[in-house]
Every structure is written in C-alpha cells, then in structure tokens.
Structure 1
C-alpha cells in the first residue's frame, strides 16, 4: 500500500501499470485481516467459514473494476497519464460501473471505522483480563499504538472531508498510512515478541530452537540425567495428569532448568512441550479405556481424568496421536471384548 502511494505521489505510476486500481483491493483486504488477526490473538480461536463474509467489500470492488483490471498495460498507462497529475481525480474512481464518482473513498473510511471500532472494543475488554506486566505487555502496547495510528487514517477524513480541500485530505490520509507502516515495521524489528501475541510457550520454544542451532547439543550424560528425572516425574508420578501442567511446573518437579528441558524436548525429541505432555495424556487415556473400569464416564469425564481442560482439546489431541477419534477408539476396544 505504501509503495502504491509512493508511485502515485511521485508520478512514477506509469512505470508500473499492472498496479493500477489495486490500492483499494489491498485496503479492503487489510482491514478485515487486521481485525481477524486481533481476534485470533485475543481469543485463541481460528478462522471459520462464516469469516468469508469479511471479504465482501473486497469482492465488490473486484467485480466492479474487473474490466479495468483486464485492460492491457498500454491501455492502463493511458488512463494513468490522464489522471496521475491530479491525485484527487485519480482517487475518485470514476471508472466504477455500479457507484457514483468518489464513492469508494468515504466507503473505505466507513469500513475501516467499523473494523477499528470492533477491534478497539475487543482489545479494551481483553486488556482487563491480562496481566499487562507479563509476556503480553509488548503486544498490547503495540496494538494500542497501531490502533491509534489507524484512527488517524479515517477519523480526520470522516470529520473534515466537507471542510478541507480534497488534495489536502488525500495527502493527510496517505501520509498516515505510510507512518503506520513505517512505525509497525520498526516495532516488529525491535520487539519481535509482538509476532507471538500472547503465546509465551511458542516464543520461548522458537528462541531455544534458534539458540540450539547455534550452540552445542546436549551431552549424552546430560540427556540420560534428564530422562531419568522425567521418568520419575512423568511415568511413575504421572504429574502430566495435573490440569494446567506447564513446563515451569515440570522444571520445578524435575529440578531441571526450563531452558534445558526445552532444549531436550525440541532438539533431542524433535517435538514441543505441548505435544510431549499431550501424547502421554492420550496414552494414559487409552489405558483407562482398555481397562474397562471407566465405561461409565463420558468423553468430558475421560478428558478431565486425562489432564485435559475440555472435551475439544482432548478430542483433537486424541485424533492427532491415534489417528482416530476417542469415540471410535472406545467402540473398537469394545468390539474386541
């Protein structure tokens, strides 16, 4: 988006005719994707089929300007040359088949305002639930700064579009977009934890993986020592059945530092802590099923006994490690009796 803005303001757009009229396409993709990203970080929930509705504004402009997108580069250059000297004329989108001139500029700002409001409400509500002194601090600081800059992209336009000349409005909006991109880029460079949202485990696992690639692997003696301690805590005491059992808990129980446990699990076992623990939980649940002593339990009860917080996480983990659902596994066990 910033590159297209530079092409427009510099007058060099006719060297890149294939970008003609793609600025709004990028904008109408950026707005819902930013909201969906914030929602996924804050809720931990993935995308659903219903989320395709957020592509509706993008599809509208795609269909509306499809004949323009299909023009040859020479034809696009002629259009660019007729408009590029006047940025206001260029951004009025006079080639729209369905809407009047200058429809898309206020429409884009209204759509951005809508996504900004629901994103800001979500951040505000979830910030109250988080310990902002902890791992999520950088992400919340960054997202608030980002939303503040994003507000400047559309709010002055909606507030003053009737009072200031179009060229000034054009320059202010696009300057803010460039600043938004530039500041976000700097933030990601200097605060890489932003990329991990609130997933502290993922960040630490990545850091250990990078570190382990640059340093020596664990010695055979250290591996044997860690395995003996894990055997006592996990195989004999079955600490993994505790709800919310974390790698910090495992480090306390085994008296092995967290970074060594991560190094052992990630580099030696080629897995991550979540899978390492969940695989043992699933094995234990299979033993419970095969014992026949817990036939009265529902999947929820079985999940709870196996250390999972809910049925969904239990079912997903079971499917991952056994390639079959827990219900199907229970039926297969009963069929052997």
Structure 2
C-alpha cells in the first residue's frame, strides 16, 4: 500500500513539474527544457498505468492497456539525450538519434495484435489481468511473451545508464579547475539525476528478478523485499521532481553550461571581467530606457534591444548575486518603487497603482518581491515606524 501511495504522489509531482517547465518556466524555449518536460511527462504516464491496473481503473479504458508498454523504451534514451543537450548546448536532435526509436517501434509493432483486437475481447482480457496482476509478466499480450519486454526493458535501461555515465564522466574529466557557479550547479544536477536513475533502474531489475524467481518457485514470496524494492522504485522518480522543485534555478531558465572554452573559466580569468562588462551594459541599458518597468519584459526582448545573446544574459545573471532573470528585474523594479515611496507617491496613489507603475502584473507579486528585499510591506516602508538603514521594521 505504501509504495502505491508513493507512486501516486510521484506521478502527480512529475506531471506538475512537467507542465510547470513546459508552460511557465521554459521561457527561453530551451531544447533541453523541452526534453526534460517530455521525460517527466512520460515517466508519470507510464507509472500511472500500474496503479490503473492494480486498482481496476483500466477496466473503464481497456483500449489504453499496453499503450505505455512501448513508450517505456523512450524514457532512458530521452534522459541520455537530455543530459547530452545540457552538456553540449544542443538545440535539436541529430539524424543519428533516430536509432534510439528502434526499441520503441519494435515493441509498438509487437503489440499490434492487442491494439487491433475486438473491444469486447480486449475488455475481457484486461479484466482478467486486473484480477491477477501476475499475468502482466507471465502472459502474452502481443507477438512475443511479456517476459521478453521485461528483459529488453531492463537491458535497455542498463545500456543507457552506462552511456549516460560515460557521457558525464568523459565531459567533466579534467575540468575540475572551472569555478563557474553555473558550471557547478549543472554538474551536480546531471550527476544527481543519473545516480537517482541508477537506483531506480537497479531496484526495478532486482524486482523483476525476484518476481521471476518466485514464479519458478526458486525462492518463497518475500513481502519485505518487495516493499523495499517498491519504495526505491517509486521513490526515485518522485525524488527527481522534488529535487527540481527544491532547486528552482534548475527550472527557471533551465541548466546550461554556456561554456565554449571551459579552460578559460577560472576565478582569475578574463571571464570575470567579461561578465562584469556585460552586466554593466545591461544595467546601463535598463536604467536608461526604464524597460524594466515593462511587465512583459523577457530575456529575448532584452537580448534584441542590447544585441547581447540571450544565453549570455542568462549566464551573466546566474554568475551574479541574483537568483535568475526575474529576480534581477524585480529588484530593479523594487528600487524604483522605493524612490516613488520616498517621493510620497503613496500619499496620492494606492499600493496597487504603485505595483502597476513599477512593472508588476499583480499586487501580490509586488508585495512578495518588496518583502523579500526589505522585510516589510510597501506601506510599512513609507511609515514612520520603518528604519531603512536596517531594512526591517523598527520596534
């Protein structure tokens, strides 16, 4: 029961994180961002079908049974391609990447007999499976027995994990001297992601082996082992989504190394001077044009206005004291709001009017940003009870 609850929560978190990336956070239209969103979405879909079968929900949608079976063969290739896209700043697939579709297409064809089966016959088969879950790996729903799917899926996950580990280790080899904060953030993320996937894959393979040994009566049924392995399998993909939500820098803008010549990126290198130059240029433009007051200001808009590449802007901000581009712009807006407050703006206008004047889309967003910067509300800042030197309300 506990693994099922954990799996259900993991599915919800993965879906939430995928939609968050796709529709809210991947504003730079990052290729790696799209891959990550699709990866999390497919993980959620494939894992949800286990719950559909165990709790009989699939009986209402028998035609969907076995839909995720070939899709599972896309998850580990997508993970590998995602890591490669992050490390090498890729913007599209390569022609050779079509080779990763072969297992998916093979098992898609394998299940054609079930897909084209009469609906009544299909419903009867699905009902029998919901009554006896062991038939999901002991039966034959396609051209090949189900154990072939399980063995191939296990081997595929191991092969792609080896490829992913090789990709990461070879990329970061001899780059220990790089001191970039963004570089360290991405390095930690791709290593942690691969470690989590390794735990998931090995636990799943161990679970398959345990089930196979039980079927041939080589070992007795062991609920404790199933519980432990089930928790590791279900908890791993939940941990991935939680990891991302806990580290918003990985979601806002999404990780990219943005390093063309990594050997030049040390603390004492010219890159620091270059970053300072770009940052100064951004500040001068924003202060001169007051474009930070535009509530629809985006990285690409600023990039076109300054002729500075979007990636360079994002990288420069990531190496500063700001959390991300939105934090950088919001702090400029708050500084402008403070000037207005000190000029007695609130004596005539409301806080909501001030938030709109400063470029915020809502009063709540303005309050949050202001409180983050000064530890008080705009109204409290303008009162006599506030001590601006301490950036806190005086007692």
Pairwise same-fold verdict (TM > 0.5): yes
Match of 2:255 in 1: 197
Q: Do the aligned partners of residues 93 and 144 (structure 1) sit closer, same or farther apart at CA in structure 2, a change above 3 Å counting?
A: farther
Match of 1:294 in 2: none
Q: Do the aligned partners of residues 122 and 20 (structure 1) sit closer, same or farther apart at CA in structure 2, a change above 3 Å counting?
A: same
Which structure has more relative contact order (CA 8 Å, sep 6+)? It is 2
Q: 1:165 aligns with which of 214, 224, 237?
A: 214
Matches within 5 A, 1:39-188: 39-45=84-90, 46-92=92-138, 94-97=140-143, 99-128=144-173, 129=175, 131=178, 134-156=181-203, 158=205, 161=209, 164-165=213-214, 175-188=231-244
Match of 1:236 in 2: none
Q: Is the 8 A contact 1:35 1:115 kept in 2?
A: yes
Q: Do the aligned partners of residues 157 and 23 (structure 1) sit closer, same or farther apart at CA in structure 2, a change above 3 Å counting?
A: same
Deviation at 1:141, TM superposition (A): 2.9
Structure 1 stretch displaced more, 51-60 or 267-276: 267-276
Per-residue deviation, residues 106-160 of structure 1 (Å, max 9, x unmatched) = 1100001001111112122333436476124344333333322322333245567
Per-residue deviation, residues 37-60 of structure 1 (Å, max 9, x unmatched) = 111111113311111110000000
Per-residue deviation, residues 169-196 of structure 1 (Å, max 9, x unmatched) = 8877665443222112212222122231
Matches within 5 A, 1:213-292: 248-252=276-280, 254=281, 256=283, 264=291, 270-272=301-303, 276-277=307-308
TM-score (norm. length: structure 1): 0.58
Deviation at 1:61, TM superposition (A): 0.6
**How far apart, CA to CA, are the structure 2 residues paired with 1:88 and 1:191?**
39
Deviation at 1:78, TM superposition (A): 1.0
Matches within 5 A, 1:203-214: none
Q: Do the aligned partners of residues 268 and 81 (structure 1) sit closer, same or farther apart at CA in structure 2, a change above 3 Å counting?
A: closer
Q: 1:35 aligns with which of 66, 72, 80?
A: 80
Structure 1 stretches (4+) deviating beyond 6 angstroms? Answer: 167-173, 242-245
Structure 1 stretch displaced more, 152-161 or 41-50: 152-161
SS for the counterpart of 1:272 is helix
Match of 1:17 in 2: 62
Deviation at 1:62, TM superposition (A): 0.7
Structure 1 stretch displaced more, 106-115 or 84-93: 84-93
Structure 1: segments with no counterpart, 5+ residues: 202-241, 279-337
Q: Do the aligned partners of residues 257 and 186 (structure 1) sit closer, same or farther apart at CA in structure 2, a change above 3 Å counting?
A: farther
Deviation at 1:258, TM superposition (A): 9.2
**How far apart, CA to CA, are the structure 2 residues paired with 1:9 and 1:175?**
16
Structure 2: segments with no counterpart, 5+ residues: 1-45, 216-220, 260-269, 310-395
SS for the counterpart of 2:78 is helix
Per-residue deviation, residues 180-228 of structure 1 (Å, max 9, x unmatched) = 2211221222212223122579xxxxxxxxxxxxxxxxxxxxxxxxxxx
TM-score (norm. length: structure 2): 0.50
**How far apart, CA to CA, are the structure 2 residues paired with 1:90 and 1:164?**
16
Q: Is the 8 A contact 1:18 1:73 kept in 2?
A: yes
SS for the counterpart of 2:182 is coil
**How far apart, CA to CA, are the structure 1 residues paired with 2:114 and 2:62?**
11
**How far apart, CA to CA, are the structure 2 residues paired with 1:88 and 1:255?**
61
Q: Do the aligned partners of residues 80 and 135 (structure 1) sit closer, same or farther apart at CA in structure 2, a change above 3 Å counting?
A: same
**How far apart, CA to CA, are the structure 2 residues paired with 1:152 and 1:41?**
22
